[in-house]
């Protein structure tokens, strides 16, 4: 699916927030941020619809969910009326909303925020949260488990059919992530984040006693911090990642 391709649902044409953002030439996440922070301006069913992960899969034949703007198991699609409301409401100051030219080969970097490191198996791990829950990257898993580089990534790819996007993992790109990261380095192709459930599935592929010992330590010291974002913040703001580091 091309970013600007419309999506038909119940005989009406809709566009994702990401597609609208690209069409308007705004900075990444301008449309998403404005919609979630000013949702009261939009009329449900008239200006927008909210589809579940399963509904999205059905009408798009399984197109990537998070890559198109899916958040917390839901995705927003705007009608033409909704796009008009958004376009007329967003302030399009060139220095504020219009996207500036950038080096496509340069990794995105973000603001730094101090957060206590967590010691796992003699390794210092910087906590990473996404959508209000702790998540891990493949490189973090390789490090705490003492595995060769790319082991976790390889095992994930070999067993990808066992993982469900939005439940076991999230695919985060520069455009569907916020600027409130710490030491973020997101490659052009994006980065995969595993939830606790996804991490559990991946650990099964290691198949040794040490892996399960480290898994227990990760659960006790790393994944015990749940529901980090307040409920009101989760309901009004798009997903965010903190502490991301490849």
pTM of the model: 0.49
Same domain? 128 vs 218: yes
d(CA 184, CA 243): 7
Number of domains composing the chain: 2
Give Cβ neighbours of residue 209 (< 8 Å, ≥ 6 apart): none
Same domain? 146 vs 230: yes
d(CA 124, CA 112): 17
pLDDT digits (tens, 9 = 90+) for 42-76: 999 999 999 988 888 888 888 888 788 887 788 99
Same domain? 236 vs 144: yes
pLDDT digits (tens, 9 = 90+) for 179-223: 444 445 677 778 899 999 999 999 999 888 889 999 998 988 888
Instruction: Report yes or no on 73 lying in a domain.
Output: yes
Q: What range does the domain containing 173 cover?
A: 118-242
């Amino acid at each position: 699916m091309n970013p600007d391709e419309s999506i038909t649902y119940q005989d009406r044409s809709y566009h994702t927030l990401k597609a609208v953002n690209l069409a308007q030439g705004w900075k990444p996440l301008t449309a998403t941020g404005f919609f979630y922070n000013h949702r009261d301006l939009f009329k449900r069913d008239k200006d927008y619809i909210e589809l579940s992960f399963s509904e999205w899969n059905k009408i798009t034949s399984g197109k990537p969910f998070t890559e198109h703007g899916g958040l917390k198991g839901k995705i927003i699609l705007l009608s033409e009326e909704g796009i008009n409301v958004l376009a007329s409401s967003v302030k399009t100051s060139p220095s504020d909303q219009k996207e500036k030219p950038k080096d496509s080969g340069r990794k995105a970097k973000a603001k730094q925020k101090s957060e206590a490191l967590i010691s796992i198996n003699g390794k210092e791990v910087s906590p990473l949260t996404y959508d209000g829950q702790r998540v891990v990257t493949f490189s973090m898993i390789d490090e705490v488990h003492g595995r060769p580089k790319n082991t976790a990534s390889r095992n994930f790819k070999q067993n990808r059919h066992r993982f469900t996007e939005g439940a076991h993992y999230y695919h985060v790109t520069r455009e569907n992530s916020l600027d409130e990261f710490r030491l973020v380095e997101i490659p052009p192709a994006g980065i995969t984040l595993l939830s606790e459930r996804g991490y559990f599935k991946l650990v099964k592929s290691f198949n040794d006693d040490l892996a399960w010992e480290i898994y227990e330590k990760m659960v006790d010291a790393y994944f015990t911090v749940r529901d980090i974002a307040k409920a009101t913040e989760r309901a009004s703001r798009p997903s965010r990642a903190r502490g991301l580091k490849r």
